[in-house]
Structure 1
Amino acid sequence: MDTLDAIEQRRSVKQYDSSVEMPEEDIQRLLDLALLSPTSFNIQNWRFVVVRNPEQRKRLRAAAWDQAQVEDAQLLLVLCGDLKSWDKDPARYWRNAPEAAQQQIVPMIGEFYTNQGEQTQRDEAMRSCGIAAQTLMLAAKSMGYDSCPMIGFDPQQVAELINLPDDHAIGLLLAIGKAAAPARPRGGQLDKDEVVVTDRFA
């Protein structure tokens, strides 16, 4: 599917055909594409928890207000951010770059995130999760799957269920699979004039 078509046709689907099995090669292809998502300073601070165990799915469904797509979709991901990835051997993020680039960029990583503080570190992780989620959703649509990004869950319960490390944060859940029913009609898009500003707000 053309990228522009995927953008236009992607919808948040709530009902999935649980009888369909997603081939492992499709799962790995989606994950490989997600790893191409951009991150600031190339710190690759997203972490993808692939939830495969049926009992774990049931527990997560309970933590997500009993939303059926958590259990019925072929693939369930918990997108998390490593808040301290910038401080974990940052040279590895640039190991294939020319030496001059490494010497310039790697020291900037620690300096930037240290000076900007914890709020920026968290904001950066959430931005990265959002970008990766969009990559996954458009890739899934292009491959013939639908998806549903989710913030409707108890973050503390989900954190406990996935044994989230202390220096990580949950961005969202993402269900991907074969739709059992189409998405509801679009609720109402705002006019471009309301959301697009030229140069500065009035």
Structure 2
Amino acid sequence: MKTIENIDTRRSIKHYDAEHVMPEADLAELIRLTKLAPSSFNMQNYRLLVVRDKDLRQQIRAAAWDQAQVTDASVLFIMCADLNAHNEDPAKYWGHAPQEVQDILGPMIQPFYDGNEQLIRDEAIRSSALAGMTLMLAARDLGYDSCPMIGFDGEAVAKLVNLPAEYIISFMIPVGKKSQEAWDRGARLADDEVVSYDTF
């Protein structure tokens, strides 16, 4: 396993080989691994939009401050989430579990989220973020680079991709073969600025 190496070496790459085409087998494996990301109640409320159409990506690039990685990476993933996932039949998420587990967890899901719009949105962002990090580390293991992006007009991109009303866009991740190295990594903040123990 190369998890530590992938964490150590993953960088946000801005420049990609625009001629590289990701093989279908690599794309399928990347999606398979991304779907192993954890999610609350196993709702899997992340949604992956895989954008390969060149014309569409050019339009998305225009809505993303003309950032070249949107069009030049092999694949553009738009990380989304379904705000209504908690309303689905719990068997969709827990049908594999022993009946006693289904009987406990299934009835808990909808009441836990109902009426709490902030929690629903927070959960959507959490799930898509966990899936996104899983995607980036998996991409690294498959020999690809990536770059999480929030620098785009979300409303414009939502219109371009015909985003369903119950979905939100979390961020985008171009994935491909880098054509330039990243800048030197910025210094990490000191532990005493980001780490506390037991209480703040």
TM-score band, normalised by shorter chain: over 0.9
TM-score, with structure 2 as normaliser: 0.98
**In structure 2, C-alpha distance between the alignment counterparts of 1:103 and 1:35, rounded to whole Å:** 25
**In structure 2, C-alpha distance between the alignment counterparts of 1:156 and 1:187, rounded to whole Å:** 31
**Equivalent position of 2:189 in the other structure:** 190
**In structure 2, C-alpha distance between the alignment counterparts of 1:89 and 1:167, rounded to whole Å:** 17
**Equivalent position of 1:143 in the other structure:** 142
**In structure 2, C-alpha distance between the alignment counterparts of 1:105 and 1:91, rounded to whole Å:** 10
In structure 2, what residue type is equivalent to 1:73?
A
**Equivalent position of 1:134 in the other structure:** 133
**In structure 2, C-alpha distance between the alignment counterparts of 1:33 and 1:79, rounded to whole Å:** 15
**Equivalent position of 2:73 in the other structure:** 73
Write the deviation string for residues 129-167 of structure 1: whole angstroms up to 9, x where unpaired: 110010011011111110000000000001101111111
**Equivalent position of 2:102 in the other structure:** 102
**In structure 1, C-alpha distance between the alignment counterparts of 2:27 and 2:33, rounded to whole Å:** 10
**In structure 1, C-alpha distance between the alignment counterparts of 2:167 and 2:23, rounded to whole Å:** 29
* Number of equivalent positions: 200
Unaligned runs of at least 5 residues, structure 2? none
Q: Secondary structure at the match of 1:149?
A: coil
**Equivalent position of 1:18 in the other structure:** 18
Runs (4 or more) in structure 1 with deviation over 4 Å come to: none
TM-score, with structure 1 as normaliser: 0.97
Q: Percent identity?
A: 50
**In structure 1, C-alpha distance between the alignment counterparts of 2:146 and 2:41, rounded to whole Å:** 28
**In structure 1, C-alpha distance between the alignment counterparts of 2:47 and 2:90, rounded to whole Å:** 16
State the Cα RMSD in Å.
0.9
**In structure 2, C-alpha distance between the alignment counterparts of 1:87 and 1:164, rounded to whole Å:** 19
**Equivalent position of 2:55 in the other structure:** 55
**In structure 2, C-alpha distance between the alignment counterparts of 1:29 and 1:91, rounded to whole Å:** 26
**Equivalent position of 1:35 in the other structure:** 35
**In structure 2, C-alpha distance between the alignment counterparts of 1:53 and 1:41, rounded to whole Å:** 34
State which drifts further: 150-159 or 189-198. 189-198
**Equivalent position of 1:120 in the other structure:** 119
1:183 Cα deviation after fit: 0.7
1:63 Cα deviation after fit: 0.7
Unaligned runs of at least 5 residues, structure 1? none
In structure 1, what residue type is equivalent to 2:105?
I
In structure 2, what residue type is equivalent to 1:179?
K
**In structure 1, C-alpha distance between the alignment counterparts of 2:119 and 2:181, rounded to whole Å:** 38
In structure 2, what residue type is equivalent to 1:31?
I
